[in-house]
């Protein structure tokens, strides 16, 4: 029916406009609503097209909306990466079930449809199991360090070859005696591959993994769209897949690493040394009361948020401190590293929750050239993205990774609970630099103490 195809075109337009809106914090909410509206249009058009039991579609809409609403309302900001991982997995598993249903429902399929079924099932199953492991690593249910089996590269390669052979068999003999066994073999191996591909990836690489799994889930959805002959699903899946791969590439460049190195390098474990044993020098700590006098005289302050800020839920206190600094005549900027946190855009989400002006957010390339003129750099829970070893130590696993060069600022305040290294397990020489002062303790309490000092000075 022509009106159904027109509805799909409208849905595709809404998807594209929504994706464009997600490119800026100021328009992200509208972009999200546009994308959700596009999906609603596509679902309703598919339902009214006929041939589908409206009861089951209605049940699916109700259950999905309820789960999504509860998750969105109850998830803590520190748990956002885990939720994103689970949502990626849900998309992959949904595509797998679509492929499964179509495989069993239409034995007279052509080669093209059979190939799409094989692709949707393999990619969807891989994205689903891989996302569950990613969720486990992010939630602490699975060790964050790289976990590798003996001869894992050979095992993974052999399984991938078998899955490819099963997919080819399914495509060339979709309704033959080998079709059923080929589908089962491909699906089971894809589930195993998802686990084996994510287990060796350490915690420091989780943002890249999350964006890659997002791309996989989108690609699986596009393949499911081909299986169903649904153009709206093809467009939606293609947009998600393409944007996910582009983001993955951007984040790999931000870490100066190739995707192959991320997937097979086994770097980024959290179980590194217990202290900064490789960083020689004296640690200089400071109290919030003493730190206040340095900040009070500062005219240019850069805040570097990291996962520790998310854990401490300190974003609102940080915004309040920035307001105090602004009232005191200082320029405040927030330097955001692309891989800070545990998912793409993690720090942006936290700061947006605290209503931090989008114009105050800057990238490493914007702030690094003038870092020598920064009076105070406040590092809140970030570690690897400010480690000077990436610039100075050719033997460090971080060497070559673009960082926020806060070590060149006049004064650096590092807010941490202890001297433990970051998620990569690499010691951070920034902690013992002469211009660095450590403020130990809970980040939120420390920042609130600084805010109190400013308020008392103003009121006194």
CA distance 93 to 350: 29
416 lies in a domain?
yes
Nearest to 384 by CA among 347, 425, 414, 344: 425
Same domain? For 202 and 321 the reply is no
Q: CB burial class (10 A; 0-12, 13-18, 19+) of residue 343? A: buried
Digit-coded pLDDT (tens) for 119-166:
999 999 999 999 999 999 888 888 877 788 888 889 989 999 999 999
What per-residue confidence (pLDDT) applies to 440? 94
157 lies in a domain?
yes
Q: Which DSSP symbol is given to 275? A: S
Using alpha carbons only, give the angle 175, 98, 94 rounded to the nearest 5 degrees.
150
In three-state secondary structure terms, 212 is helix
Same domain? For 390 and 333 the reply is yes
Domain count, the chain: 2
Please spell the DSSP secondary structure of 60-73, one letter per residue.
Answer: HHHHHHHHHHHHHH
What per-residue confidence (pLDDT) applies to 277? 42
CA distances from 249 to 110, 207, 256, 362 (A): 35, 12, 10, 20
Count of CA atoms in the C-beta half-sphere (13 A) of 49:
20
26 lies in a domain?
no
Same domain? For 295 and 160 the reply is no
What per-residue confidence (pLDDT) applies to 193? 94
Residue with tokens 């600084």: 450
Angle, helices 28-49 vs 231-254, to 10°: value is 150
Q: CB burial class (10 A; 0-12, 13-18, 19+) of residue 108? A: exposed
Same domain? For 309 and 378 the reply is yes
What per-residue confidence (pLDDT) applies to 216? 94
Looking at the DSSP assignment, which residues form a beta bridge with residue 414? 379, 438
What per-residue confidence (pLDDT) applies to 275? 38
59 lies in a domain?
no
What per-residue confidence (pLDDT) applies to 431? 93
46 lies in a domain?
no
Please spell the DSSP secondary structure of 344-365, one letter per residue.
Answer: TTHHHHHHHHTT--GGGEE-HH
What per-residue confidence (pLDDT) applies to 258? 76
Same domain? For 307 and 241 the reply is no
In three-state secondary structure terms, 338 is coil
What per-residue confidence (pLDDT) applies to 141? 87
Within 10 angstroms of residue 264's Cβ, the number of other Cβ atoms is 16
Is 384 among the residues known to form the active site? yes
Count of CA atoms in the C-beta half-sphere (13 A) of 340:
34
Each residue's pLDDT, cut to its tens digit, for the chain (460 residues) gives: 688 889 999 999 999 999 999 877 778 889 999 999 999 999 888 888 777 778 888 888 899 889 989 988 888 767 788 888 999 999 999 999 999 988 887 666 788 888 999 999 999 999 999 999 999 988 888 887 778 888 888 998 999 999 999 999 988 876 666 778 889 999 999 999 999 999 888 766 778 888 899 999 999 999 999 998 889 999 999 999 999 999 888 888 877 777 777 766 555 544 433 334 455 678 899 999 999 999 999 999 999 999 889 888 899 999 999 999 999 999 999 999 988 887 778 898 889 889 898 889 999 999 999 999 999 999 998 888 999 988 988 888 788 888 999 999 999 999 998 887 766 667 899 999 999 999 999 999 999 999 999 999 888 6
CATH number for 303:
3.40.50.1220
CA distances from 326 to 297, 323, 449 (A): 12, 5, 17
- Residue ending a domain, among 232, 264, 296, is 264
What per-residue confidence (pLDDT) applies to 399? 84
Same domain? For 304 and 254 the reply is no
Same domain? For 368 and 254 the reply is no
Same domain? For 191 and 314 the reply is no
CA distance 224 to 202: 31
Asked whether 286 and 441 are in contact (CB, 8 A), the reply is no
Same domain? For 239 and 318 the reply is no
Same domain? For 103 and 178 the reply is yes
What per-residue confidence (pLDDT) applies to 289? 94
CA distances from 348 to 23, 206, 309, 420 (A): 12, 17, 12, 25
Q: Catalytic residue among 53, 106, 175, 384, which? A: 384
Sheet holding 411-416, edge to edge: 361-362, 331-335, 300-305, 376-380, 411-416, 436-440
181 lies in a domain?
yes
- Residue ending a domain, among 229, 264, 299, is 264
249 lies in a domain?
yes
Same domain? For 241 and 304 the reply is no
What per-residue confidence (pLDDT) applies to 185? 93
* Domain of 374, in residue numbers: 288-459
Same domain? For 161 and 237 the reply is yes
CA distance 324 to 407: 24
């Amino acid at each position: 029916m022509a009106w159904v195809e027109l509805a799909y075109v409208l849905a595709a337009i809404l998807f594209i406009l929504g994706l464009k809106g997600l490119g800026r914090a100021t328009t992200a909410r509208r972009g999200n609503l546009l994308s959700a509206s596009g999906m609603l249009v596509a679902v309703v058009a598919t339902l009214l097209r006929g041939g589908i039991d409206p009861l089951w579609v209605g049940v699916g809409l109700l259950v999905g909306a309820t789960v999504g609403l509860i998750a969105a309302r109850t998830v803590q900001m520190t748990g956002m990466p885990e939720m994103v991982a689970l949502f990626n997995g849900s998309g992959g598993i949904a595509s797998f079930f679509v492929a499964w249903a179509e495989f069993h429902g239409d034995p007279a399929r052509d080669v093209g449809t059979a190939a799409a079924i094989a692709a949707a099932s393999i990619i969807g199953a891989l994205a689903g199991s891989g996302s569950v492991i990613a969720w486990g690593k992010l939630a602490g249910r699975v060790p964050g360090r790289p976990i590798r089996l003996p001869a894992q590269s050979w095992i993974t390669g052999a399984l991938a070859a078998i899955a490819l052979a099963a997919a080819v068999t399914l495509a060339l003999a979709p309704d033959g005696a080998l079709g059923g066994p080929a589908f089962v073999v491909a699906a089971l191996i894809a589930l195993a591959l998802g686990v084996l591909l994510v287990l060796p990836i350490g915690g420091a690489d989780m943002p890249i993994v999350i964006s890659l799994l997002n791309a996989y889930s989108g690609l699986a959805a596009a393949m499911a769209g081909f299986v169903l002959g649904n153009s709206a699903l093809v467009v939606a899946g293609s947009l998600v897949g393409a944007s996910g791969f582009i983001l993955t590439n951007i984040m790999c460049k931000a870490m100066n690493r190739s995707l192959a190195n991320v997937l097979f390098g086994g770097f980024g474990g959290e179980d590194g040394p217990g202290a900064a044993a490789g960083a020689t020098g004296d640690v200089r700590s400071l109290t919030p009361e003493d730190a206040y006098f340095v900040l009070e005289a500062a005219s240019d302050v850069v805040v570097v948020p990291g996962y520790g800020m998310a854990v401490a839920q300190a974003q609102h206190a940080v915004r309040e401190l920035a307001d105090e600094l602004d009232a005191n005549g200082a320029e405040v900027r927030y330097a955001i590293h692309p891989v800070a946190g545990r998912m793409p855009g993690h720090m942006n989400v936290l700061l947006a929750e605290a209503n931090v002006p989008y114009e105050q957010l800057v990238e490493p390339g914007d702030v690094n050239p003038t870092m020598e003129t920064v009076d105070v750099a406040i590092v809140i829970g970030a570690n690897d993205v400010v480690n000077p070893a990436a610039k100075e130590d050719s033997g460090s696993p971080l060497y070559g990774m673009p960082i926020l060069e806060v070590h060149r600022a006049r004064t650096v305040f590092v807010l941490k609970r202890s001297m433990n290294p970051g998620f990569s397990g690499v010691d951070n020489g920034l902690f013992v630099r002469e211009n660095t002062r450590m403020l130990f303790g809970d980040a939120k309490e420390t920042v609130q103490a600084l805010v109190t000092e400013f308020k008392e000075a103003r009121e006194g």
